[in-house]
């Protein structure tokens, strides 16, 4: 439980750091913004599923992400994951969640595996975003877990 909580704390910190880097782009890295939107909306989908809500209305990929809506989504996700983690117990980590994905396919997955996926999915896309930032002559943001652990 402690490890998963720590991974999600890192996710929240890294989202803030990367959002700050994207804000500095002044709209010059739409690909970075689109990637950031994808994983922020994916985070939203997963927390909705964990809370028993449908996420089928969410579009995971678009080419027209905008900064203002992402700022709101990041803040909302941070609040929703924080609230969820406060209620979560060690005993419930292996509970199975039944949900329907964006294609309408039903799945059952443990809470532990969902939360691990959320953290790893974000890390994957943050690496992609940093590549795009570098290619756009914007300083990439250091968001590795070890840096987070040194700072906290």
Q: What does the pLDDT profile of the chain (152 residues) look like in tens digits?
A: 999 999 999 999 999 999 988 888 776 788 999 999 999 999 999 999 999 999 999 999 998 888 899 999 999 999 999 999 999 999 999 999 999 999 999 999 999 999 999 999 999 999 999 999 998 888 889 999 999 999 98
Please answer whether residues 136 and 25 qualify as being in contact, where contact means their C-beta atoms are separated by less than 8 angstroms.
Answer: yes
The tokens for 26 are 């002044």
Residue 44 to residues 60, 65, 82, 115, 138: CA-CA distances in angstroms? 10, 15, 13, 12, 27
How far is residue 141's CA from residue 53's CA, in Å, rounded to a whole number?
33
The tokens for 86 are 């406060």
96: phi then psi, degrees, rounded to nearest 5: -95, 135
Please answer whether residues 77 and 47 qualify as being in contact, where contact means their C-beta atoms are separated by less than 8 angstroms.
Answer: yes
- Cα-based torsion angle of the residue sequence 27, 29, 35, 36 in order, rounded to the nearest 10 degrees: -50
What domains does the chain contain, in order, with CATH numbers? 2-151 (1.20.120.450)
Please answer whether residues 130 and 140 qualify as being in contact, where contact means their C-beta atoms are separated by less than 8 angstroms.
Answer: yes
What residues does 99 pair with on adjacent strands? Answer: 107
Annotated binding site for a divalent metal cation: 38, 121, 125
How far is residue 133's CA from residue 5's CA, in Å, rounded to a whole number?
28
Residues making up the chain, counted from first to last: 152
Rounded to two decimals, the pTM is 0.93
């Amino acid at each position: 439980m402690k490890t998963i909580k720590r991974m999600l704390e890192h996710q929240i910190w890294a989202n803030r750091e990367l959002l700050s880097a994207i804000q500095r782009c002044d709209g010059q890295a739409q690909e970075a913004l689109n990637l950031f939107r994808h994983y922020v909306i994916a985070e939203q989908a997963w927390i909705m599923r964990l809370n028993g809500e449908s996420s089928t209305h969410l579009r995971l990929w678009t080419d027209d992400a905008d900064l203002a809506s992402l700022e709101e989504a990041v803040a909302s996700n941070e609040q929703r994951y924080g609230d969820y983690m406060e209620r979560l117990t060690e005993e419930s980590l292996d509970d199975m969640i039944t949900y329907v994905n964006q294609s309408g396919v039903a799945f059952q997955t443990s809470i532990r595996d969902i939360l691990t996926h959320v953290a790893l999915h974000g890390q994957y896309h943050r690496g992609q975003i940093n590549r795009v930032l570098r290619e756009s002559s914007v300083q990439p943001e250091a968001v590795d877990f070890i840096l987070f652990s040194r700072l906290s």
